[in-house]
């Protein structure tokens, strides 16, 4: 088995030049570019419109001029949001939640994936399948029982977790851990057996085998899993909407939706700026680590 990263820069280019064949190819290529441009416009219109609107003042937005053009570009929305304590609180909560969840996820899923991929034990195959099944259980099925469970937990122990941002640290791993474990099993399984046998014979403990051999070798997989865990916890909307209500406990997506959209007065310039800033961290990660991002995406379904 080869490495699971799907980077195909050296795909075979088809540059056959045989009379009409080549003419067909040229036309096929032109049509491809034409339709790709259409699809790219379709894909990029909403994010571009976010950028356009975020650079407009409220006055310009309500003047109903050409919505696709900025007549008087201004940064007032950005300044307004980035100096507002409320927005910075959302951002901080989101950052804390995502970073902690990524850490928890990796601490749980990497050792578990190692054990499931390498150390066959009673029920390990069933557990691996179970992990995959868990990944298929959606958040929308679990939010009500989970909410009730945490409410009851608060009643019984007096530890009130609902409406605290850190309650999300318990809940988000249910979304991230199964998938990360699943793709890490795939990555670990693709590492040659000789490598860990050699380490064991050399007297390495299982823990050392994991930290000294598996983690360095499977680094692309770990990066892909980390990116996945981060984007999922950054983007999650339903759980924070259910579990947190006071404005100082909200994470970014819920904060923008619930506090900036108030009544009939929609301050669209600020909403779009907030949405853009909320979309920025995943987009930046994607821009720099696109190959890992895509590897994580495809590994989940193509690697058994």
Partner 1 sequence: MADVAIRQNSAAAPRNVRKRASLRTALKRKSTAAFLMTLPLIILIALLVLYPAFYSLHLATLNKSMQRFVGFGNFEFLFKRDTFWLVVKQSCIFAISAVIFKALIGFIVAHFVHNVPAKGQRKWRGMLLVPWVIPPAMSTLAWLWLFDPSYSAFNYTLSFFGIGPIPWTGDASWARFSVILVNIWYGAPFFMIMYLASLKSVPEQLYEAAAIDGANWWQRIWYVTLPMMRNIIAITTLFSLIVTFANFDIVRILTAGGPLDHTHIFATWAFRVGIEGSDIPLGASVSLFMVPILAVAAIFILRDVNKRGNEA
Site for partner 1 in 183-242 (CB under 8 A): 194-195, 197-202, 206-207, 213, 231, 234-235, 237-238, 241-242
- Using CB under 8 A as the binding rule, whether residue 162 contacts partner 1 is answered as no
φ, ψ dihedrals at 65, nearest 5°: -80, -170
Binder among 17, 64, 246, 263 for partner 1 (CB under 8 A): 64
Query: Binding string, 164-183, against partner 1, x = CB under 8 A?
Result: ------xx-xx--xx--x--
Q: How far is CA 125 from the centre of its chain?
A: 27
Site for partner 1 in 242-281 (CB under 8 A): 242, 253-254, 256-257, 266, 268, 271-272, 275-276, 278-279
Q: Is 1 or 158 the residue whose CB approaches partner 1 more closely?
A: 1
Question: What residues have CB less than 8 Å from 231, skipping those under 6 apart?
Answer: 282, 285
Which two structure tokens, joined as six digits, stand for 64?
């109903």
Binder among 22, 23, 26, 28 for partner 1 (CB under 8 A): 28
Site for partner 1 in 88-117 (CB under 8 A): 107-109, 111-112, 114-116
Binder among 140, 157, 159, 262 for partner 1 (CB under 8 A): 140
Q: Is 89 or 104 the residue whose CB approaches partner 1 more closely?
A: 104
3-state secondary structure of 261: strand
Is 302 exposed, middle or buried (CB count within 10 Å of its CB: 0-12, 13-18, 19+)? exposed
- Using CB under 8 A as the binding rule, whether residue 155 contacts partner 1 is answered as no
Residue 259 near residue 250, CB atoms below 8 Å? yes
Which range of residues in 24-32, 72-80, 84-92, 161-169 is near partner 1 by CB under 8 A? 24-32
Give one word for 13, left, alpha or beta, with left for phi > 0 and alpha for psi -120 to 50.
beta
Give one word for 5, left, alpha or beta, with left for phi > 0 and alpha for psi -120 to 50.
beta
- Using CB under 8 A as the binding rule, whether residue 10 contacts partner 1 is answered as yes
Least distance to partner 1, CB of residue 283, Å: 6
Which range of residues in 77-85, 129-137, 158-166, 218-226 is near partner 1 by CB under 8 A? 129-137
Question: What residues have CB less than 8 Å from 121, skipping those under 6 apart?
Answer: 115
Least distance to partner 1, CB of residue 42, Å: 7
Q: Is 25 or 92 the residue whose CB approaches partner 1 more closely?
A: 25
Q: Is 92 or 213 the residue whose CB approaches partner 1 more closely?
A: 213
φ, ψ dihedrals at 51, nearest 5°: -60, -45
Q: Is 74 or 174 the residue whose CB approaches partner 1 more closely?
A: 174
Distances, alpha carbon 100 to alpha carbons 27, 211, 226, 247, in Å: 52, 21, 11, 20
Measured CA to CA, the distance from residue 271 to residue 283 in angstroms comes to: 18
Binder among 143, 154, 223, 289 for partner 1 (CB under 8 A): 143
Neighbours of 266 (CB within 10 A): 13
- Using CB under 8 A as the binding rule, whether residue 49 contacts partner 1 is answered as yes
- How many residues touch partner 1 under the rule CB under 8 A: the total is 115
């Amino acid at each position: 088995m080869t490495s699971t990263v799907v980077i195909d820069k050296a795909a075979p280019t088809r540059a056959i030049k045989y009379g009409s064949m080549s003419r067909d190819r040229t036309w096929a290529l032109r049509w491809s570019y034409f339709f790709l441009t259409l699809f790219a416009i379709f894909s990029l219109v909403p994010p571009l419109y976010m950028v356009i609107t975020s650079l407009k003042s409220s006055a310009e937005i309500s003047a109903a001029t050409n919505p696709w053009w900025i007549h008087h570009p201004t940064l007032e929305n950005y300044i307004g949001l980035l100096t507002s304590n409320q927005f910075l609180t959302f951002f901080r909560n989101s950052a804390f939640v995502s970073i902690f969840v990524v850490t928890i996820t990796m601490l749980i899923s990497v050792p578990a994936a190692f054990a499931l991929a390498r150390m066959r034990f009673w029920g390990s195959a069933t557990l691996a399948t179970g992990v995959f099944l868990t990944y298929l259980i959606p958040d929308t099925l679990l939010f009500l029982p989970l909410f009730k469970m945490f409410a009851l937990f608060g009643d019984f122990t007096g530890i009130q977790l609902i409406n605290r941002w850190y309650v999300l640290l318990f809940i988000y791993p249910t979304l991230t851990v199964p998938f990360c474990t699943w793709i890490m099993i795939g990555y670990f399984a693709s590492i040659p057996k000789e490598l860990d046998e050699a380490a064991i014979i050399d007297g390495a403990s299982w823990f050392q085998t994991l930290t000294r051999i598996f983690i360095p070798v499977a680094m692309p997989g770990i990066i892909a899993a980390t990116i996945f865990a981060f984007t999922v916890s950054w983007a999650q909307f339903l759980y924070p909407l259910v579990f947190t209500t006071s404005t100082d406990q909200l994470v970014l997506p819920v904060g923008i939706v619930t506090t900036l959209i108030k009544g009939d007065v929609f301050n669209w310039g600020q909403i779009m700026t907030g949405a853009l800033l909320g979309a920025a961290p995943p987009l930046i990660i994607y821009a720099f680590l696109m190959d890992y991002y895509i590897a994580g995406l495809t590994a989940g379904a193509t690697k058994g």
